[in-house]
Structure 1
Amino acid sequence: MIYVRLNTSGFEYDIYNLVRSFLPGAKLGFLYPRDLAHSLEGGKTAAEALKSYRLQRADAEEKLAYWEEKVAERQGAQQKRTAADPVSRGARGAWTEEKGHANHHERSPEALQEKLSRAQEKLRKTLERQPASVLLVDIREDRIRIRWEADGKEAEKMMRELALADERGLPADPALSALWSANSGQVCEETLSSFVKERPEAMPCAEERDILLRREQKNVLKRLIYLALSEDLGKDLPWGTLSGIRPTKILLGKLASGASEEEAARWMKETYMVSDAKLATCMEIVSRERKVLRRIHTGGMGGAEDGRKGYSLYLNIPFCPSTCLYCSFTSYPEKKYAALMPDYVSALEREIDYVREDFQEEKKRVLDSIYIGGGTPTSLPAELLDRLLTCIESRLDTSQLKEWTIEAGRPDSITEARLDAIRGHGVTRISINPQTMKDGTLRLIGRHHTSEQIRTAYSLARSKGFDDINMDLIIGLPGESRADVERTLQEIAAMGPENLTIHSLALKRTARLNLRWEEYAKYVMESSDELMALAASYAKKMGLSPYYLYRQKNIAGNQENVGYAKEGYEGIYNIAIMEEQQDIVALGCAADSKKILANGKTDRCENVKNVEEYIARVDQMIERKRRLFFEED
C-alpha cells in the first residue's frame, strides 16, 4: 500500500491518477492530521490506519494458523486410518465423515481446505495494506514540498513516526520536522509564483484569487510528485502530469488567451512536463482544429461571423447486436428489445419537437452538426431508421448543417435496406468500426461477425455512394501482437477510409473485461508508443493526419485515442464536443447534454439510463434540458 499523508484535502483525485500512471494497479490510502481527519467522512490518521492494519493482520494470521492446524490434524488422522486398514480404505475410496455427524460438511477434508484457502486469501489481502511506500505532502500558500519514500522499511518507520505525532497531537511536532530532513527517499520543494511575482494590489478578487491559487497548487504538487517518481522509477510519462481527457483543450485555451504557438508550447511543457512527441502531436491537432472551428458557430474560437449562436445535436440509439467485451456504454440486445424500438423512436420524436421549439424557433440557434451514436444506430430496422431521419429533416432546419454522422458501427448490422434509408436523407458521414481484422479476437471480444463481413459492409457502403467513411480500431485488445495490429492496419489501408480513429484499450469499470478480469488476464494486452507510432505511420501512408485527440482513465500504456482524417474530412462534432466549444443537445436514454458557460466551464444534464424509464419519463427529460438551457432576457 502507498500511504499519502496530506495536511489539507482536495488533491486526492489528482495524486491518485498521477501515481497510478506511474504504478498501474497501485493501492493508495490517504491520511491526514487528527483534526482534519475527523472532519472528513472516512478520513483517517496514520495512527488509526496503522492500528487497523495491525489488528486485521493479527486476526488474519490467527485464523490462518487455526485452519492450518485443523487441516494438519485431519491429514494426520487420514494417514493413521490408511496405515491401520489400507485394503478396506482403498476399497472405500476417499475418506468420508461418519454419516449423520452434526458437523459433517464443515469437517470434511474439502470443506477444511476451502476454509484454509479463504484464510490464506484474507491474509494476502490484509498484507496489501502493509506500508510499502509513503508520500508525505505539505501544502502551504507560499510553497509546496513532498517526500517520496519507496523503501519498505523506511516507509514503515515513517508510518510509526506519523502515528506517534498523531497521538501526541502537537501543532509543530519535532518528529514531523525530522521526516523532512531524512537522508533516504526524494524530497522536492517549490515556491508558488503567485505570491512571489504578483503585487498584492494587482491580485484579482478573492474568489478568483482562490481559484488561481488552487490551480497553481495542483500543478506544482503534480510536478513535484512527477519528478520524485520519475527519478525513483527511472521512467517518464509521455503525457507528463496530465491525467485529464482533453490535453488539446488546455492548449486551445492558452492560444485563445493571446499566447503565440511558441509561448503556448513552452508553457505546456514547463507546466505539465509533456514529452516533445506528444506536444508536437497536440500542436498539429490544435492548428487543424482551429481551422475547423472557424467554420461553425462557436463561442470564442473565432467561429462563423454571422452573429448567431450554434449548437450540435446528439441522438443515442442504445440497442446493439451484442455487448462487446470492453464496452461500458448503456446498451440493450436488439432481439430482446425489438418490440420496444417503435416506442423509443416516438420518444426521440418528442425530444426533437422540443429542440425545434426551444433552439430553432425561440433561441434562433444554428444547427451545425448531428451525430447519431449508441449503441449501434443501425440496430433499428430500416423503416424505423427512415422514420427517425425523416423526422429530423422535416422538423429541424438543416440548411446550415456542416455534418451529419451515423455510427453504422457493427458490420453485422449493416444491410442494403438500412444504407438506403441513410442515403435517402442528408447524412454525410458514417462509421464502420472493425476494431480489429483478426477473426479470433472478434470472437473473443463478443463481436459476432467476421472480418469478411467488415469487407462486405465497407464495399456495400461505397457502392451506395458514401464518400466519407470512418473506421475505428482498438490497440491493446486481448491476445493481439504487433504483427496482428499491423495486419489489421494493412487491410484498413487497402480499403482507404477518409477517417481512421485509433483507440487505446481502456479498462472501463462496468465492462465485462474489467468485471471478469481473471478470465482474460492470461491474454497479453499491449498498447505502447511503438504501436501508436505504427498506427500513425499507416495513417500517414493513407493520406490521413491527426485532427482530434482525447484520453481516458485506465487506458492501456498511458496512451490516447487519436482521430485521423483527410484534409476537409475532419469530424466536426468530434472536435466540438471534445474541445467543449459548443452546446450539445443530447437526446435518448443515457444521453448527456452539455451547456458551455460564459467562463468556459460547462453545465450538463443526463437523461435516465434505463430505456423503459426513458420512454415513460421523456417529458421529464425534456424539462431537464429546458432548465439547463434556459436563458434570461
Structure 2
Amino acid sequence: MTFCDYSLQQNSPYDLTRPVAEMAAFFGLAAQSGSENLLTVTSEGTACVAVWQGRDGRRIVSQSFAIRQDVRGEWVRCAKLAVLEVLQMAAEQQLALPWGILTGVRPGKLAHKLLDGGISELDLPLYLQRHYLLPPKQAQLLTEICLLQRRLLSAVEKQVGIYIGIPFCPTRCSYCSFPSGIVPKDEEIQQKFLNCIEQDMLAVVQLLSMYSLNATSVYIGGGTPTSLSETAFARLLEMTARNLLLPGVREFTVEAGRPDCFSLGKLKAMEACGVSRISVNPQTLHDKTLRAIGRSHTVADFYAAYELVRHSRIKTVNTDLIIGLPGETADDVKASLDGIRALAPDNLTVHTLTLKKSAPLFGSAYSSLTAEEAEMLVAYGGEVAAALGMQPYYLYRQHYMLGNLANIGYAAVGSASLYNIQMMEERHVVLGIGPASATKVPQADGHHLNKLNMPKDLGTYTGNLPQLARKRSLLFADEEE
C-alpha cells in the first residue's frame, strides 16, 4: 500500500465519519485534514457510493449500494460496504474479515434486531452473509447464539439482571484496563466502602418494588470481589442475599477469578448465602505467563481453588482462558485448553487478548501469535467446548482485539449465565450497583437504551451516592408515560 491517510467528504443525511474510519482502519488508514487522498461518500438517488481520488491521480468508484430504508443504520451499512469496496480496489488488497463489516462490541444485537424485524430463523445466516459480509461460520454461530438466548430469556416479563461492582484486586494484571485499584488492607476502609454499597443496594430494592421488576440474576463482579477480607466478603454476601435474592432469582454469581485471594472461608460464605455460580479463572495454565502478566499465584494455586469449588455445593463453575498473552505460543494455548478440558467445568469463556489504552501493555508487541494462529485457537477452543458438551451462548468483541476476533462463552446444558446474556444483549433491564457499574433500561422500541454509568473514581461515587441513585431512578421515567 502506498498511502496511509485520507481526507473525507460526505453528502448524506447522516454523519458517517465513524463508520468510514472503522473501514479505513482495516487498511491502516487514518483521516487527516488536507490529505491529497480524497475519499468521498455520497448519495446517488436512493443509493450510497464511495469514490477514491488518490494523490497518484487514480479515481476509483464503488458500485451503488441501495438504501432500503432511510434510517441511520442502513446508511451506515451501505457506507461501510461502499468504502470497503473502494479501498480494496485502491489498495489492490482483498481483506479477510472474520466479522465482515461488523465492528461493534455486540454483534448479537443486530441478529436480535433482524429477527424482531421479521427475518426468519432459517434466513438469518444467509442475510448476515449477504448484507454484512459475515463468513458462513460466524453467521451461523451468531444465529445459533441468538436463538438460544431467546429461548433462555423469553419466559419472564420485566426481568432484570443486577450487577454489584467491587473495584478492588490484589494486584493489577499487565493486560487489564478495568478501573480497579489495589484492595485496601485496612478493614475499616473496606467496611466503610460496604456501607455505601449497602446504601446503593437499598435504593435498587426500591426501584424493583416501584416498577414491579422481576430480578432473575445477581452478579458480583469487579475487580475481584474475593480480594476483600473474609469478614468484609462475608458481609457483602449476606447483605446481597438478604436484600436481593428475591423469589424470581434463578442464579447468583460471584467472580472468584484470582486464586491468590481465594480461601476455604470465603467459599463457605458463598455456600451459606446461596451462590449458585462461580468463576475461577486461570487465564493460562503456564506459570511463566502468570509471572509475565503480574499475577501472584501459580497454576497449582488455581487447581487447588478449582478443586475446593468442585467439592462444594456451588453447582456451576466457569473458567476463563485468554488467547494472546505475552510470550505464549499456539502450543502453549492449546495445552491450556487441553488442561481445562480435563477439568470439565460447566462454563468456559475463551477470550482473545484486547489491550485498551489504559492497560500497562498497551502499545507494546505483546503477543507472539499471528492473527491466523489466533483464529485457529479460537476455533480450537470451540472444539474443546463441544467435546465437553457445551454450546456457545454469548459473545462480544472489543477494539484492539487480536485478529479482529471475538470472546465467546460456552455452557453445558442448563448452566448458561442469564446475567451474561442480559448484560451483553441489552434487551432487559440491568441495574448496576457500585463504582463503574452500569444501569441500562431498554426503551420501548427495543433497540435504544437509557443508561447511567456510575463514576469510576471511588471518592466521586461515595461522595455523590444520593444524587446518583436519583439519576438512576430517572432512567425509568419513560416507563411511567
Q: Are residues 1:214 and 2:72 paired?
A: yes
Task: State the 1:464 CA deviation.
Answer: 2.1
> Of 485, 508, 515, which aligns to 2:356?
508
Gaps of 5+ in 2: none
- RMSD of the alignment, in Å? 2.0
Among residues 105, 118, 131, which one is paired with 1:245 in the alignment? 105
For residues 277-306 of structure 1, the C-alpha deviation after alignment (integer angstroms, 9 at most, x for no partner) is: 111111221221111112xxxxxxxx32xx
1:397 to 1:498, Cα distance in 2 relative to 1, 3 A: closer
Equivalent residue in structure 2 for 1:277, among 123, 137, 159: 137
- Retained in 1: the 8 A contact 2:260–2:301? yes
1:264 and 1:540 map into 2 onto residues whose CA distance is 23
The answer to whether the Cα contact below 8 Å between 2:285 and 2:339 also exists between their aligned partners in 1 is: yes
1:225 aligns with 2:228: no
| Residues 8-46 of structure 1 deviation map (CA, whole Å, 9 limit, x = unaligned) | 4711111112222x23xx24125xxxxxxxxxxxxx4xx
| CA 1:616–1:5: 2 relative to 1, 3 Å | closer
Deviations 1:381-408 (A, max 9, x none): 1222221222122223521111111101
Residue identity in the other structure for 2:24: V
1:395 correspondence with 2:260: no
Q: Which has the higher contact order (CA 8 A, sep 6+)?
A: 2
Q: CA–CA distance in 1 between the matches of 2:44 and 2:389?
A: 51
Task: Tell me the amino acid that sits aligned with residue 29 of structure 1.
Answer: A
Map 1:85-234 → 2, pairs under 5 A: 134-140=38-44, 142-148=46-52, 155-158=54-57, 184=58, 186-194=60-68, 212-230=70-88, 232-234=92-94
Q: Tell me the distance in 1 between the aligned counterparts of 2:470 and 2:97.
A: 44
> Does the aligned pair in 2 maintain the 1:2–1:135 contact within 8 Å?
no
Query: Aligned partners of 1:401, 1:355: CA distance in 2, in Å?
Result: 15
The equivalent of 2:407 in structure 1 is: 561
**CA distance in 2: counterparts of 1:493 and 1:405, whole angstroms:** 22
d(CA) in 2 for partners of 1:344 and 1:290?
Answer: 37
| 1:481–1:526 contact (8 Å) kept in structure 2 | no
Counterpart of 1:427 (choices 275, 279, 294) is: 275
Q: Which amino acid aligns with 1:608?
A: P
**Does residue 521 of structure 1 match 2:365?**
yes
Offset at residue 213 of structure 1 (A) = 3.6
8 A contact 2:441–2:449 mirrored in 1: yes
Q: CA separation in 1, counterparts of 2:44 and 2:225?
A: 52
Q: Which amino acid aligns with 1:215?
A: G
Contact 1:506–1:556 (CA under 8 A) maintained in structure 2: yes
- Give CA deviations for 1:517-573 in whole Å, capped at 9, x if unaligned: 3xx427514453211111111111122111111111111101000000101111101
Q: Deviations over 1:84-108 (max 9, x none)?
A: xxxxxxxxxxxxxxxxxxxxxxxxx
Letter in 1 for 2:409: G
Bigger-Rg structure (1/2): 1
2:21 aligned with 1:7: no
Q: 1:281 to 1:344 in 2, by over 3 A?
A: same
| 2:222 counterpart of 1:374 | yes
C-alpha separation between the residues in 1 aligned to 2:59 and 2:360?
40
Aligned residue among 156, 177, 180 for 1:328: 177
Instruction: Report the Cα distance in structure 1 between the residues aligned to 2:222 and 2:186, rounded to whole angstroms.
Output: 15
- 1:624 and 2:468 correspond: no
Q: What is the match of residue 259 of structure 1? A: 119
Letter aligned with residue 456 of structure 2:
K
What are the within-5 Å matches in structure 2 for residues 535-550 of structure 1? Answer: 535-550=381-396
Query: Which residue does 2:21 correspond to in 1?
Result: 16
Cα distance, 1:311 vs structure 2: 1.3
C-alpha distance 186-542 of structure 1, shift in aligned 2 (>3 A)? farther
- Give, in whole Å, the separation in 2 of the partners of 1:541 and 1:248: 24
Question: Distance in 1 between the 2:207 and 2:267 partners?
Answer: 31
User: Where is the strand percentage greater, Structure 1 or Structure 2?
Assistant: 2
Aligned to 1:447: 295
Matches of 2:391 and 2:87 in 1, distance apart? 34
Report the equivalent of 2:378.
532
- Please state how far the C-alpha of 1:417 moved relative to its aligned partner: 0.7
Q: Who is 1:352 aligned against?
A: 201
- The answer to whether structure 1 residue 595 and structure 2 residue 469 are counterparts is no
What is the SS of the residue equivalent to 1:326? Answer: coil
Cα 1:513–1:396 change in 2 (3 A) is same
Cα distance in 1 for partners of 2:321, 2:357 equals 21
What residue identity is the alignment partner of 2:438? Answer: D
Task: Measure the CA separation in 2 of the matches of 1:147 and 1:258.
Answer: 33
Which amino acid is the alignment partner of residue 6 of structure 2?
Y
The structure with more helix, counted as a fraction of residues? 1
How far did residue 339 of structure 1 move? 4.3
Give 1:450-489 correspondences, 5 Å limit: 450-489=298-337
The answer to whether the 8 Å contact 1:343/1:615 transfers is no
Aligned residues: 470
- Compared CA separation, residues 479 and 337, structure 1 to 2 (3 A): farther
Comparing 449-458 with 524-533, greater Cα deviation is found at 524-533
Post-superposition offset of 1:508: 0.8
1:335, distance to aligned residue in structure 2 (A): 4.1
Seen in structure 2, the aligned counterparts of structure 1 residues 357 and 140 have a Cα distance that, compared at 3 Å, is: same
Q: CA deviation at 1:468?
A: 0.5
**Are 1:611 and 2:469 an aligned pair?**
no
Identity percentage over the alignment? 33
4+ residue segments displaced more than 6 Å = none
